[in-house]
């Protein structure tokens, strides 16, 4: 009954979304304010409808309704309540419902804004968001129904397992349970953060399309969506970082980023959204790069859909991807249709999007921002080629040839380094015109400080690795430039207003949150770069099989194997847990408990590393194998990951910087032209 009700709500929401798009188009073309208002109200109705559908599905999940195939696939009786709720996005059908629900929430929020100044945008924003929602709902209604019972599907074995010969369907006693890899706190918030980033980017895309359709070629659409874009970028960045932390904690290979195809599919919209955030500042300030900004937001939108397609189509193998599905061709068709339509609109308005000024210097800030954008797009090209190459190779040769991490690392490392260098130079360059001489006057102090740091790293820390020395040079230079910018601004305000330096810095950042929030983000990137460089260049590892009382040594650490046990726990797991005593330079520092959890419901194991963390490094230990009937002993793999925790510290600073940059500022009240003229006449 509840399953039928939930499916009916999804169908209703699909019909309402299609009506909203149709009414908005009619209202814009007629024109009819009543039709547009009807479309707006229909848009506002979609989110409550999808909320009811999502709650119905959650009810089925938490109450063990295993007659519903989706519930059987992602839950079991042994799972705790919170995991049953978050299983909503633990499977393909539920994740599509969750995606649609978030998209409807954001679309509703944007239609509730004050449209007095931008009334012509409203119907076309509704059209774009409603069509996007309708597409995802169509995938749910026609291909991936989360409310389908076993006897309503033709998906294979399970449709017959619980149907006796000649009898009625039988409800299974228990479910398969969520994939053990997804039973981690990071996976409770990692997918929602990614989805929030994905759906948030739809809003600036919708305004961009509205601007093209209506011929509003000024920067108004950018100003409206500035904070939407910042929040989208924050959510997507957090999703990537949380995914990296999940991989570090759960996948058991000692790293945080494996250049997995689905990881890359989430990274690609970030690689276009980040340059978009930078280049819109040039359009606002100089009236330049209008074509470029339109192209970037179109590319970002379609990469969001492309990433969703890769995850859910089953065309690529990944620990993150869902199973094979019939929705792949539909996603591909939708991506092609939206990309062709968007580019057609862009070319239609191409003459109207001419820049108001021209670049006069290759060292000006706007030129350096453009170089920054081109580097991001170069990384995107590498990533895109690496992801689609297996598909191309299979199409041409019949064999799927995968592209491994070495390809990505060698191809992108110089590009990331160049981006880090530009991050240090660009803030000190001037708008409009800048020369090497003027830049040199402000760059020499941070450059000298960076060289002193690298000299200390070379002579005092004994680092001889060339890649590491280059990396530390770039990191130190960019960090000192950013701190120098804070100091210069605060010092100037201190002299002008006779304030203390901390107060001057506080008020300076408060008056220009966007600029100084961006500088805080730059500092966070410097900190994250330290962590990335540390683990990528200095990571060491060892593996060995030891008996009780024996030890493994790695760098300055010694790990003594003292105990192991295997036991069941109430939540349906069998746990094999080892105990290792850790010493550093002969001094006891920690006791680690690496373990292997075996889940009876899904019949899958999961490796949980033992971890000893400091600001300087991580000691990361994996229990590879142990059999109680064998006298061979236990096998451990040990990683020493220097500086990796600066990656997570940088992520926290990044959140703070983005919040500062995105914090709302009071906009001047809008006074309609007619009212302003009347008031002027009376005066």
pLDDT beyond 90 at 26: yes
In-domain check, residue 283: yes
CB 538 within 8 A of CB 653: no
Stated as kind and residue range, the H or E segment containing 366 is helix 365-397
pLDDT at 535: 92
Share of the chain above pLDDT 90, in %: 52
In-domain check, residue 676: no
In-domain check, residue 427: yes
| Average pLDDT value for residue range 650-675 | 71
Last residue within a domain, chosen from 373, 393, 421: 421
Higher pLDDT, 611 or 154: 611
Of the candidates 52, 231, 212, the residue with the CA atom closest to the CA atom of residue 127: 212
CB-side neighbour CA atoms (13 Å) of 5? 12
Backbone angles phi and psi of 543, in degrees to 5: -145, 140
Q: Which of 57-66, 234-243, 424-433 has the lowest mean pLDDT?
A: 424-433
The rounded distance, in Å, linking the Cα atoms of 158 and 136 is: 26
Are residues 650 and 636 located together in one domain of the fold? no
Are residues 147 and 45 located together in one domain of the fold? yes
| Lookup: tokens for 224 | 């409206």
In-domain check, residue 199: no
Give 563-572 contacts, CB < 8 A, sequence gap 24+.
Answer: 564/626, 564/634, 566/628, 570/78, 571/78, 571/79, 571/80, 572/76, 572/77, 572/78, 572/79, 572/177, 572/599, 572/600, 572/601
- DSSP assignment of 566-609, as one string? EEEETTTEEEEEEEEEEEETTEEEEEE--EEEEETTTTEEEEE-
In-domain check, residue 48: yes
pLDDT beyond 50 at 424: yes
Confidence band, pLDDT 50/70/90 cuts, at residue 383: very high
Over residues 525-576, the pLDDT tens digits come to 999 999 999 999 999 999 999 999 999 999 999 999 999 999 998 888 899 9
Confidence band, pLDDT 50/70/90 cuts, at residue 408: very high
Helix or strand or coil: residue 91?
coil
Are residues 552 and 520 located together in one domain of the fold? no
Q: Which domain holds residue 373?
A: 210-336+347-355+363-421
In-domain check, residue 137: yes
Confidence band, pLDDT 50/70/90 cuts, at residue 479: very high
Task: Identify which of 49-53, 330-334, 453-457, 487-491 has the greatest average pLDDT.
Answer: 49-53
pLDDT beyond 60 at 671: no
Are residues 407 and 465 located together in one domain of the fold? no
Cis-peptide into 31, omega within 30 deg: yes
Average pLDDT, the chain: 87
In-domain check, residue 204: no
CB 287 within 8 A of CB 357: yes
| Residue that has been written with the tokens 């980017």 in this structure | 201
Residues 6+ apart with CB under 8 A from 557: 582, 583, 584, 619, 638, 640
Alpha-carbon distance values, 493 to 482, 496, 516 (Å): 17, 5, 14
Task: Identify which of 166-170, 362-366, 398-402 has the greatest average pLDDT.
Answer: 362-366
Share of the chain above pLDDT 70, in %: 91
Are residues 57 and 173 located together in one domain of the fold? yes
Residues 6+ apart with CB under 8 A from 336: none
In-domain check, residue 97: yes
Are residues 216 and 163 located together in one domain of the fold? no
Are residues 530 and 594 located together in one domain of the fold? no
Burial of 34 (0-12, 13-18, 19+ CB in 10 A): exposed
Q: Which of 76-85, 145-154, 405-414, 640-649 has the lowest mean pLDDT?
A: 145-154
Last residue within a domain, chosen from 386, 403, 421: 421
Q: Which of 196-210, 233-247, 320-334, 567-581 has the lowest mean pLDDT?
A: 320-334
* pTM summary value: 0.88
What is the tally of structural domains in the chain? Answer: 4
| Lookup: tokens for 47 | 């989110």
pLDDT at 683: 40
pLDDT beyond 70 at 620: yes
pLDDT beyond 50 at 166: no
pLDDT at 570: 85
Query: Which CATH number covers residue 176?
Result: 1.20.120
Q: What is the CA radius of gyration of the chain?
A: 28
């Amino acid at each position: 009954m509840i399953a039928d009700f939930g499916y009916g709500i999804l169908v209703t929401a699909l019909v309402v979304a299609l009506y909203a798009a149709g009414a908005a188009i009619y209202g814009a073309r007629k024109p009819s304010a009543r039709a547009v208002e009807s479309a707006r109200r229909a848009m506002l109705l979609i989110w409550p409808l999808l909320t009811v559908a999502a709650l119905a599905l959650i009810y089925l999940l938490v109450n063990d309704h295993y007659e519903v195939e989706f519930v059987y696939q992602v839950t079991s009786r042994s799972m705790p309540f919170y995991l049953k709720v978050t299983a909503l996005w633990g499977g393909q059908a539920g994740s599509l419902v969750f995606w649609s629900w978030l998209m409807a929430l954001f679309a509703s929020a944007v239609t509730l804004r004050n449209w007095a100044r931008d009334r012509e945008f409203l119907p076309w924003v509704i059209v774009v968001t409603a069509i996007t929602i309708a597409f995802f709902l169509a995938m749910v209604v026609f291909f991936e129904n989360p409310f389908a019972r076993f006897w309503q599907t033709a998906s294979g074995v399970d449709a017959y397992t619980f149907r006796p010969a000649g009898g009625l369907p039988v409800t299974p006693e228990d479910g398969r349970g969520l994939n053990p890899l997804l039973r981690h706190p990071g996976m409770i918030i990692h997918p929602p953060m990614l989805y929030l980033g994905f759906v948030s980017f739809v809003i600036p895309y919708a305004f961009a399309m509205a601007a093209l359709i209506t011929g509003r070629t000024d920067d108004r659409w950018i100003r409206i969506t500035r904070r939407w874009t910042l929040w989208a970028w924050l959510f997507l960045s957090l999703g990537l970082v949380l995914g990296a932390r999940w991989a570090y904690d759960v996948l058991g290979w000692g790293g945080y980023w494996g250049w997995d195809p689905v990881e890359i599919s989430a990274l690609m919209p970030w690689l276009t959204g980040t340059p978009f955030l930078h280049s819109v500042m040039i359009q606002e300030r100089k009236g330049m790069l209008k074509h470029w900004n339109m192209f970037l937001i179109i590319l970002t939108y379609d990469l969001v859909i492309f990433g969703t397609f890769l995850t859910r189509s089953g065309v690529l193998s990944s620990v993150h991807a869902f199973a094979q599905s019939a929705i792949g061709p539909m996603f591909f068709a939708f991506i092609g249709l939206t990309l062709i339509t968007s580019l057609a609109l862009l070319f239609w308005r191409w003459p109207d999007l001419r820049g108001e000024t021209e670049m006069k210097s290759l060292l000006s800030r706007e030129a350096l921002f453009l170089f920054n954008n081109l580097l991001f797009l170069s990384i995107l090209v590498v990533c895109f080629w690496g992801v689609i190459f297996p598909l191309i190779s299979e199409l041409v040769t019949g064999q799927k040839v995968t592209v491994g991490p070495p390809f990505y690392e060698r191809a992108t490392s110089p590009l990331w380094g160049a981006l880090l260098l530009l991050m240090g130079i660009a803030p000190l360059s001037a708008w409009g015109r800048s020369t090497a001489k003027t830049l040199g006057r402000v760059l020499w102090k941070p450059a000298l400080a960076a060289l002193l740091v690298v000299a200390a790293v070379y002579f005092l820390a004994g680092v001889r690795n060339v890649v590491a020395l280059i990396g530390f040079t770039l990191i130190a230079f960019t960090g000192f430039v950013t701190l120098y910018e804070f100091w210069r601004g605060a010092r100037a305000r201190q002299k002008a207003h006779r304030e203390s330096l901390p107060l001057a810095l506080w008020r300076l950042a408060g008056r220009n949150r966007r600029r100084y929030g961006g500088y805080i983000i730059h500092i966070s990137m410097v900190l994250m770069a330290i962590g990335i460089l540390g683990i990528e260049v200095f990571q060491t590892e060892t593996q060995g099989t030891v008996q009780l009382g024996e030890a493994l040594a790695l760098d300055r650490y010694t790990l003594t194997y003292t105990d192991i046990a295997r036991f069941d726990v109430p939540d349906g797991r069998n746990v094999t847990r080892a105990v290792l005593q850790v010493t550093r330079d002969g001094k006891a520092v920690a006791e680690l408990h690496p373990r292997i959890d075996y889940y009876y419901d899904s019949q899958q194991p999961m490796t949980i590393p033992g971890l000893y963390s400091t600001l300087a490094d991580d000691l990361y230990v994996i229990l590879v194998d142990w059999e109680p009937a064998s006298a061979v002993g236990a096998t451990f793999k040990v990683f020493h990951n220097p500086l990796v925790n600066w990656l997570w510290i940088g992520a926290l600073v990044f959140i703070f910087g983005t919040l500062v940059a995105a914090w709302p500022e009071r906009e001047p009240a809008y006074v309609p032209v007619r009212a302003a003229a009347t008031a002027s006449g009376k005066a």
